[in-house]
Amino acid sequence: MRIIFTSLVIMVTLLIATPTIAADSGVGRYTAILIGGQGGRSSVVFILDTKEGHVWTWGLAVVGMKKVVERITYKGRVRPGKKMGEVIEEIITTSIEDKRKE
C-alpha cells in the first residue's frame, strides 16, 4: 500500500511541477484524470497534453505481495474534427479470446 501511495505522490508531483503552460489558455499543459482503480490494488490515470494533443495512460497494479507493475502507455495524438460527432479514427482489434483460437 505504501508503494502505491508513494507512486501516486511522485506522479502528481511531476504533473504539478511541470512549468510549461499551454499557450493562450492559461491552463496547465498536462491534465491527469483518474479513470479507474480497484480497491487500492490498481489505478489508471489518463494524461492529456493540452497543447499538442498527445495522450498517455499511466497504470499501476499490485500483483501478489511484493510485485508492483507500473506502465506508461502512449495512446496517440488527439486531433480536432470538422464537425460535432465526426469519427476521427476507427480502430478495430480482435479480442483476446479470438487470438487464442488462432
Q: Which of 46, 37, 100 is nearest to 74 (CA)?
A: 46
| Residue written as grid cell 511541477 | 17
Torsion, Cα 82 84 88 92, to 10 degrees, reads: -160
Domains: count for the chain: 1
The answer, yes or no, to whether residue 81 has pLDDT greater than 60, is yes
Q: Which domain holds residue 44?
A: 2-101
CA distance 44 to 8: 11
Q: What is the pTM of this model?
A: 0.54
Mean of the per-residue pLDDT values for the chain?
74
CA distance 79 to 77: 6
Least reliable range by pLDDT among 36-40, 57-61, 85-89 = 36-40
Q: What is the mean pLDDT of residues 76-96?
A: 83
pLDDT in tens, 8-31: 545 555 554 444 443 445 568 899
The answer, yes or no, to whether residue 57 has pLDDT greater than 80, is yes
pLDDT in tens, 28-48: 889 999 887 766 667 889 999
